[in-house]
Amino acid sequence: MTETTAPDETSGHAEPRTDASGTEAVLDRYVRFWNASTEAEQRSLAAETFADRVEYHAEIGVLTGAQALMDFRDQFLDHMGTASLQLRARPRFHHDRARLQWEIVTGEPDGHGEGRSFATGTDVLVLDGKGRITSVTTFLDRAPEGFDSAAHH
């Protein structure tokens, strides 16, 4: 992966960044994985994006493997209906780590093209030498209404 320097939108300081053919492409696939409209699309994105034993650490628990992530997403959609993962800021990264700030929007778009904000959070991803995600640690920045984090520890 080729590193370049880009200004940080919030601080104006330069930070290491890889070009679109590297880490940014993996991060794009990661977001597309969560928003995939078919199982076949999601399975294909999972194979390209995640290492075989990817670990997903969240307040709800630790999941291992792409199939566990697909099952988690399916359960969420079964409960919530439509939902999409949207980035709140440009991803930041250094070395083998990336940070994505996201928002989950549920429901059909309203008259302004927006659904209802369900939660916001930050994912920290670890990538292997092949550019595949080996680990995801998810932090809730704004938990869903009624979520009890103490019940999940």
Q: Say what the pLDDT of residue 93 is.
A: 86
> How do residues 58-82 score in pLDDT, each as one tens digit?
998 999 999 999 999 999 999 988 8
Query: Distance (Å, rounded) from C-alpha 130 to C-alpha 147?
Result: 36
> Cβ–Cβ contacts within 10 Å for residue 100, how many?
22
Q: Say what the pLDDT of residue 55 is.
A: 98
In this predicted structure, the answer to whether residue 17 has a pLDDT above a threshold of 80 is no
Query: Distance (Å, rounded) from C-alpha 44 to C-alpha 36?
Result: 10
Span 102-129, average pLDDT: 87
DSSP label at 95?
T
Q: Say what the pLDDT of residue 148 is.
A: 67
Helix then strand then coil, % of the chain, to nearest 5 = 30, 40, 30
**Spatial CB neighbours of 12, under 8 Å, sequence gap ≥ 6:** none
Tell me what the pLDDT averaged over the chain comes to: 84
**HSE-CB for 56 with a 13 A CA cutoff:** 17
